[in-house]
Structure 1
């Protein structure tokens, strides 16, 4: 059942805040255990199979902006993501010398509607990095604790890939991977010359059926628009909506949670939220509260949940809520391959993401930075959209010998179209996504001087990259140039230098922020225990990326899902034992 304003007067067994990967998985597991569940989502409902929500298989000219992004859809007018780094009426602030951009998703399914579907397990080393390099802290759990849940996630959701036997890139239960496309074959050629491994990607896109409710990928390369056949993973289509059909799950949309409410003993009693429809405050009660609103949003809710028992915010007696915030590193480079100019036209769309990638392959003990990165490859003959011709003069500059004389009226009209057709499919590139070092000094806190349009105090960010991340970005670019040059590409743009931190992306731009409510065995230095349960409040849990002690060189979603499943099992067990 879906609600917008009318809250139930009866208490729920569990309230879940957020409907992304963590909240969606919790809704499935907890409702299947027979619990009455409320899911509170700050955005509206979304189903890519419904005509009013569908953006898949639409031409650019069907958009008044020809597919260009907007404030609320920054990745493109047809991208599934509704939210962004700059949402009207929902500000955030930054401390001195901080440049942090915070992406919020405002829709059922959260960020899982737009992502690369890169579904990588953390490896054994990723849970014990402090023991390896002395930086940061080890997790209180290890790979063996999560492996059974990774296995369950693989089998239930589906992920394609190949068994490679790489120790810190653990194999799973894989569906058949798609074959490399032409631009990826050139990348593989360039990487091989540099002795850099390239293996099939591991994406949560169905190349074979896994159940009757979901279809199989038909290779339109538009996963970022969300799949009307439910062939790719998003939380709304694969977790929350099915849970609502099968179990006792009520969905409250357009509801901004203000705080977790508590009783005189400090126990969580539910949440209060502001309805976006009438701007009034409502309250829901429950035996257990589960936060899955995203690492920073969950921290914000906890910090705003002050009471006599929790004067600094619920779960924050250690002062660690908001601390050790960190995002993945990121850098990109592209080139144009003269061999692919005037290439034959055919459908090579494939899946909406990379067919191959490079896992971290080096020993950091032999390098001048501590953590690794993986490489994502991109290119091909995707449909041109808004802005595709803007860089044509730049391309001519770099490939004038191979490209030949430009069209007489190049830059607009018929000549521009001709040039675009010749060049389409000849550009290719890569992105590095790496692990940063968690820092106590990187954090978010409540800005007591600023509230959003709902009257809720906002977050203030403090963040600086360290030399490890900057040197890692330099290594990325050295590697990118070697692979592109080996592949026969002409490099586009100048190689970034130290003045730009070697092209290192602004913190928050990779949208992998983790660590604000981290787990640990010591309540003095952590927020949650190893079951993602608050040290200070036994019936409060966090199931997003906040509990991460460290980020790996992998995307966090598969680990969020596995942790949420594990935490949900624990909640069910503790409720049966009447411990919470």
Structure 2
């Protein structure tokens, strides 16, 4: 940038970069403790209850972008302002890598449109190397994190059921919603196949927990942002209460460039580019907390070079950006002939699954390590074109209840009749599993490319190993077993080795973790067990970058718990004058 850097006049106690799960939690905990906080967010303000942002209960043709040539990845009404590709914000790949990087540029980040699947990591998940000899153990264990999981349950709210399943810790649950018809059938099929199907654990309020948030009204549109604040989004549940304390200043449309350090190597603030005028500013702070997402925080640290931090801030070990990994993902769908011509009734439910399958084979001898859970979809949701059509294995034709083959598709009257005939007779399954963290999967700074703000961009290298590919094969075998037990007909042939058994490209599950991993040894890790940089003790990372391993669970609940833990540590250390 050719502009002169302008400094904000205030020295804040804490500057937080990113307002998603980790950043929102840190802002709330620290602000309520009395800290003066600067919260830097790369996107605009967002409030799903503000009339100018409301997208719930609107029809597709009401989109202000109707007729546009392209749309957001999860639909125009989805509360995800961003995607895998953002204009002017490229990233690059090397060695044939397929890694895709999803960014959400808005207050609350990706918590506005996620599936709200809120699972605790179990005792085994923190010490997997002790089980299979792969990767590394975390420097902390479940008992270190459990008190914070409990606090998050109480603060945010999560529904579920007490099951006492090994390595699937039960929480402090609200009542779960009842299963819908296809989910009742899944439970029945699970019993036949010996596969558990239990109530989901989602951060959606099935009853009120405070005066600021209402209960779910079952419109099944959580991904659009909830006007009642019944689901968890950092913008609604964490940032808004933090701002109400009067201790938080939010800098929106502020693209963080680097963490500024002094001659001693300590952080003194954060520089950012105002996206509206492309002017660069500096926010001064005594403590810096990074929560921009695993890859974005790593990028920020790599770009924060100085005479004391020549390889980037926090990178004396050379580990920064390494051990990047995403959840594995594979899916399958099927048609249920006995559900054609269903009676119509409202079964919308919450915005997500009412039941799921936790990993059920701990301790069993398999040809791959770790495990996965299964997420289910189906029922009478909003259909789209092609819904229930195009079965390759029976040449685009479907059997009806009597077993007679019926051509599918067409246009006009026949298309309308087919929609009515097939509506609600399909279901889908998606496996989400644990990959092995490897040093040779990483992100680094591309030496030749910058974004439209002049900030050097990330370059990715990533490959799946045979462990993940074999896990995907096991997923497909399980899906086939469930489809058979339900009396269904699979949509299309079973994926085989030519497609890695349907294994999604890394980054597509949007669970990337591990770039600023924690550890007790500064030569092998970026942060310590308190999420604090080994190289600068007034810099903390509270997103999923600190994860040593992913587990077969979604990462958000652990991000929230570890952010709360780190924030309380900051408060304690400030009281002791150690920070």
Q: Deviations over 1:238-260 (max 9, x none)?
A: 00011101240000000100000
Aligned to 2:178: 179
State whether residues 158 and 203 of structure 2, in contact with CA within 8 Å, keep that contact through their aligned partners in structure 1.
yes
Aligned to 1:54: 54
Aligned to 2:275: 276
- Where 2:474 maps in the other structure, the secondary structure is helix
Aligned to 1:248: 247
| Deviation (angstroms), 1:97 | 1.9
Aligned to 1:11: 11
State whether residues 69 and 77 of structure 1, in contact with CA within 8 Å, keep that contact through their aligned partners in structure 2.
no
| Deviation (angstroms), 1:437 | 0.2
| Deviation (angstroms), 1:174 | 0.3
Aligned to 1:566: 565
| Deviation (angstroms), 1:531 | 0.1
Change beyond 3 A, Cα 1:53–1:109: same
- Where 1:376 maps in the other structure, the secondary structure is strand
Aligned to 2:130: 131
State whether residues 122 and 552 of structure 1, in contact with CA within 8 Å, keep that contact through their aligned partners in structure 2.
yes
State whether residues 392 and 411 of structure 1, in contact with CA within 8 Å, keep that contact through their aligned partners in structure 2.
no
Alignment RMSD (CA, Å): 1.8
Aligned to 2:43: 43
Question: How do 1:22-41 and structure 2 match up within 5 A?
Answer: 22-41=22-41
State whether residues 83 and 103 of structure 1, in contact with CA within 8 Å, keep that contact through their aligned partners in structure 2.
yes
| Deviation (angstroms), 1:414 | 2.0
| Deviation (angstroms), 1:400 | 3.0
Aligned to 1:369: 368
Aligned to 2:429: 430
Aligned to 1:289: 288
| Deviation (angstroms), 1:8 | 3.7
Determine the C-alpha separation between the residues in 2 that align with 1:374 and 1:390: 25
Determine the C-alpha separation between the residues in 1 that align with 2:28 and 2:7: 21
Aligned to 1:400: 398
State whether residues 219 and 351 of structure 1, in contact with CA within 8 Å, keep that contact through their aligned partners in structure 2.
yes
Determine the C-alpha separation between the residues in 2 that align with 1:393 and 1:314: 53
Question: How do 1:162-311 and structure 2 match up within 5 A?
Answer: 162-311=161-310
Question: How do 1:450-461 and structure 2 match up within 5 A?
Answer: 450-461=449-460
State whether residues 61 and 67 of structure 1, in contact with CA within 8 Å, keep that contact through their aligned partners in structure 2.
no
Change beyond 3 A, Cα 1:303–1:505: same
Q: Deviations over 1:271-330 (max 9, x none)?
A: 000000001100010000000000000000000000000000001000111000000000
Q: Deviations over 1:137-156 (max 9, x none)?
A: 00000000000000000011
State whether residues 376 and 430 of structure 1, in contact with CA within 8 Å, keep that contact through their aligned partners in structure 2.
yes
| Deviation (angstroms), 1:396 | 7.3
Q: Deviations over 1:133-186 (max 9, x none)?
A: 100000000000000000000011000000011130001100000111001111
Change beyond 3 A, Cα 1:247–1:396: farther
Q: Deviations over 1:411-464 (max 9, x none)?
A: 212221111121111110110000000000000000010000000000000000
Would you say 1:352 and 2:375 are equivalent positions?
A: no
Determine the C-alpha separation between the residues in 1 that align with 2:248 and 2:394: 57
Aligned to 2:140: 141
| Deviation (angstroms), 1:269 | 0.3
| Deviation (angstroms), 1:402 | 2.3
- Where 1:546 maps in the other structure, the secondary structure is helix
Determine the C-alpha separation between the residues in 2 that align with 1:104 and 1:229: 25
Aligned to 1:417: 416
| Deviation (angstroms), 1:391 | 3.8
Alignment TM-score, normalising by the size of structure 2:
0.96
| Deviation (angstroms), 1:397 | 3.3
State whether residues 20 and 292 of structure 2, in contact with CA within 8 Å, keep that contact through their aligned partners in structure 1.
yes
Aligned to 2:157: 158
Determine the C-alpha separation between the residues in 1 that align with 2:409 and 2:453: 50
Determine the C-alpha separation between the residues in 2 that align with 1:452 and 1:239: 30
- Where 1:323 maps in the other structure, the secondary structure is coil
State whether residues 161 and 202 of structure 1, in contact with CA within 8 Å, keep that contact through their aligned partners in structure 2.
yes
Change beyond 3 A, Cα 1:85–1:534: same
Would you say 1:94 and 2:93 are equivalent positions?
A: yes
Q: Deviations over 1:464-505 (max 9, x none)?
A: 001110000000000001101110111001111111111000
Question: How do 1:461-500 and structure 2 match up within 5 A?
Answer: 461-500=460-499
Determine the C-alpha separation between the residues in 1 that align with 2:240 and 2:394: 49
Change beyond 3 A, Cα 1:75–1:69: farther
Change beyond 3 A, Cα 1:410–1:441: closer
Alignment TM-score, normalising by the size of structure 1:
0.96
Determine the C-alpha separation between the residues in 1 that align with 2:495 and 2:151: 42
State whether residues 68 and 77 of structure 1, in contact with CA within 8 Å, keep that contact through their aligned partners in structure 2.
no
| Deviation (angstroms), 1:70 | 4.0
Q: Which moved more, 1:394-403 or 1:132-141?
A: 394-403
Change beyond 3 A, Cα 1:168–1:363: closer
Change beyond 3 A, Cα 1:509–1:557: same
Q: Deviations over 1:103-137 (max 9, x none)?
A: 01100000100111000000000000001110000
Aligned to 1:382: 381
Aligned to 1:549: 548
Change beyond 3 A, Cα 1:189–1:318: same
- Where 1:10 maps in the other structure, the secondary structure is strand
Aligned to 1:446: 445
Determine the C-alpha separation between the residues in 2 that align with 1:370 and 1:69: 43
| Deviation (angstroms), 1:201 | 0.4
Change beyond 3 A, Cα 1:538–1:132: same
State whether residues 15 and 40 of structure 1, in contact with CA within 8 Å, keep that contact through their aligned partners in structure 2.
yes
Determine the C-alpha separation between the residues in 2 that align with 1:339 and 1:66: 37
Task: Could you tell me which runs of 5 or more consecutive residues in structure 1 were left unpaired when the two chains were aligned.
Answer: none
Change beyond 3 A, Cα 1:103–1:342: same
| Deviation (angstroms), 1:66 | 6.5
State whether residues 393 and 411 of structure 1, in contact with CA within 8 Å, keep that contact through their aligned partners in structure 2.
no
Would you say 1:313 and 2:275 are equivalent positions?
A: no
- Where 2:418 maps in the other structure, the secondary structure is helix
